[in-house]
Amino acid sequence: MKYKRVLLKLSGESLMGKKSFGIDNQRLNDYAQQIKDIYDAGVEIAIVIGGGNIFRGVQAEEGGMDRTHGDYMGMLATMINSMALQAALESAGIDSRLQSAIEMKEIAEPFVRRRAVRHLEKGRVVIFGAGTGNPYFTTDSAACLRAIEINADVILKGTRVDGIYTADPEKDPSAKKFDSITFDDVYENGLKVMDMTAFTLCKENDLPIIVFDMDTSGNLKKVLLGETVGTVVSN
Ligand code: GTP
């Protein structure tokens, strides 16, 4: 396997599958199976999952709700997804631990960096829930922060698109996919990978990001095997 320790960022919205809200069990189990494939190969895996299938802080603000209030609700949404994912991993025979950035000790361990690293060393998948625990940060930022804290080799951003394109492929049929691109080129060309807070965190800490389509079964393993799936962003 190309990487020893990875942080996998999963999209909450992707978890909806074909549904318009909530969690699609088939998609959830597919994710668990894909994770099992790389887990069995000995990869140390930490996971951050978004909450957009349940609640988005930004939308709350549009409805007149205070932004911070909405963001906290979004963090709780990530906990629901994290718990669902933990259950799915467990059914797939994967040992896992869930840590929350907001204390809720009846359902999750509190986030303790050293403990998370110890879990990984012992072969447990660690899910980090509740984002960074702070409003105004996305789950992408949480993923980058945790990845840096645990010294992950790479962030694997699993989404519905299969990489970064020269333009939006849904609007411009001539758009071409990059196999690799530098952080600087992403910035200079106004391309979107993550929000700027997350993006800068990765660039400044020299942490590569691989954007790939997680909704195609088998892709996660291909990324770990070093196959050209998605787009690699690095310095
Ligand atoms: P080691 O100390 O390396 O053996 O790790 P461990 O996670 O197996 O030990 P521990 O006895 O701390 O945890 C046993 C179980 O309790 C695991 O499933 C943990 O996720 C869970 N656990 C530990 N601390 C907490 C907590 O504060 N809240 C909740 N809800 N669960 C916890």
C-beta neighbour count of 95 within 10 angstroms: 12
- Please give the full DSSP string across 72-135, using - where no structure is assigned: HHHHHHHHHHHHHHHHHHHHTT--EEEEESS--TTTSEEP-HHHHHHHHHTT-EEEEESTTSST
Ligand 1 is surrounded, with C-beta below 6 A, by: 97, 105-110, 118, 122
pTM: 0.95
SS3 state at 137: coil
The residue whose C-alpha atom lies closest to atom 20 belonging to ligand 1 is 97
- Per the structure, the complete domain to which residue 102 belongs is given by 5-234
Which tens digit of pLDDT belongs to each residue from 51-104?
Answer: 999 998 777 878 889 999 999 999 999 999 999 999 999 999 999 999 999 999
Domain count, the chain: 1
The residue whose C-alpha atom lies closest to atom 17 belonging to ligand 1 is 97
Q: Which atom of ligand 1 is nearest to the CA of 122?
A: 3
CATH no. for residue 56? 3.40.1160.10
CA of 179 relative to ligand 1 center, distance in Å: 40
Q: Which atom of ligand 1 is nearest to the CA of 110?
A: 27
Which tens digit of pLDDT belongs to each residue from 110-135?
Answer: 999 999 999 999 999 999 999 999 99
